[in-house]
Amino acid sequence: MASMNLHRVYIPTNARNNHYILAEFKPSDAFFDCFDDVESCYQRLARKLFAICDEHELFNVHVIANDKLPVVRYHDEAYSLQTDKQILFFYNPKYHEGHKIHYEADHRARKIRLLFLATGDELRANAASFHSKVKKALDDLKEQYEPEGLSYKVRDHQHLTYDIFAKVKGHRESYGYKLRSLYPRYQARNCSLPEQHSEMSYVSFSVPITRAIKTEYQSQMRPGDYAQFYRSIEDSFLTLCDQLQLTHVGFIADGRLPLVRSSQIDKSDANRELQKLSFDTSALDGQVRSIWAGEHLCDTMHFVVVASDKDKKDVGYGKFMNNAETMIRRLTGKLPINPEKQDVIVRFFQHISYQD
């Protein structure tokens, strides 16, 4: 997957695409007062939204009114799972459709989230069209609740997901991506976004702590004391990132799932399941977010590399992604990982958010 062109990254053709848009608003007392109870509020809101979505050919839409954060992943079977803090959606964009509402009886939501999952083929090529359809649907819904003055925070999420070892496993076909920023991509396709917006691109990958890793690092692991092991992994990761000028990075090994956010919008925070990492991409000195619990051995180590403002090129994020891939290969090469049998799943995320 190496490229002679530094600004083009070659990603296996069996990479999976995901695209979804999350619009959320905080329902006021006046909004709830329009209905007999919270359940009728959610039901009537969902009926109106789903009718609008049918008109705009949006075929996989969910209303989330239980204050749980949606996490979207690809899967050949469509299903959702819920934890205390998350609701996980698994689906294949080519086949799966559905309109569904998720709520708990008598729970008055702090935020109501409207989740639009892209469907069909060529999600990346059709991303601007999908965003335009969602924007029209949101505008139509806002008109129907004009007295209540709905105001949305809109987050557009796209990711490419693939195994860094796909070529070793025999999948040699690849496609060259420039990975252009979302804003100019959308503008070029007549999808207008507000000038005031926040945009982030980043890479994440995870490494499970397997039996082979435990054996390799057994001298650094003692019951109730795994700090030396975590420091060893952390040092290797940060050293490689420094060598490749990857300046905004995160290492999470405390059992939580990392969520990357812009410091313009969110502050770093955590709950039992999620670790929010807030980055200022304009910080010249870079930022390191390293969080691990030395007294516990987690199941999976999570790594995050965020593109800084200097990584944002007019031609795209290809060079940044090539550097990230090089770092991942070197880091995993230091670990007892068999590339022919084990996967290291890489996700390239692009987010854009704005207030509407």
| Residues 227-273 pLDDT 10s | 999 999 999 999 999 999 999 999 999 999 888 988 766 555 667 78
Please provide the average confidence, as pLDDT, over all residues in the chain.
91
Instruction: Give the start-end residues of each E strand in the chain.
Output: 9-12, 16-25, 60-64, 69-74, 79-82, 86-91, 98-102, 112-117, 153-163, 174-177, 198-208, 248-253, 257-262, 269-270, 274-279, 287-292, 300-306, 345-355
pLDDT over 50 at 4, yes or no? no
6 confidence band (pLDDT: 50, 70, 90): confident
- Over residues 128-152, the mean pLDDT reads 90
351 confidence band (pLDDT: 50, 70, 90): very high
CB-neighbour burial class of residue 167 (10 A; exposed 0-12, middle 13-18, buried 19+): middle
Return phi, psi of residue 229, to 5°.
-65, -50
- Over residues 89-109, the mean pLDDT reads 91
CB-neighbour burial class of residue 296 (10 A; exposed 0-12, middle 13-18, buried 19+): exposed
pLDDT over 90 at 207, yes or no? yes
- Over residues 293-311, the mean pLDDT reads 95
2 confidence band (pLDDT: 50, 70, 90): very low
pLDDT of residue 3: 41
More confident residue, 114 or 74: 114
pLDDT of residue 202: 96
Choose the weakest-confidence range: 9-18, 71-80, 314-323: 71-80
**Residue 167 and residue 340: Cα distance in Å, rounded?**
9
**pLDDT tens for each residue of 208-220:** 999 999 999 999 9
pLDDT of residue 270: 61
**Residue 353 and residue 266: Cα distance in Å, rounded?**
12
- Over residues 278-297, the mean pLDDT reads 92
Provide the whole-model pTM: 0.91
Rg (CA), the chain: 21
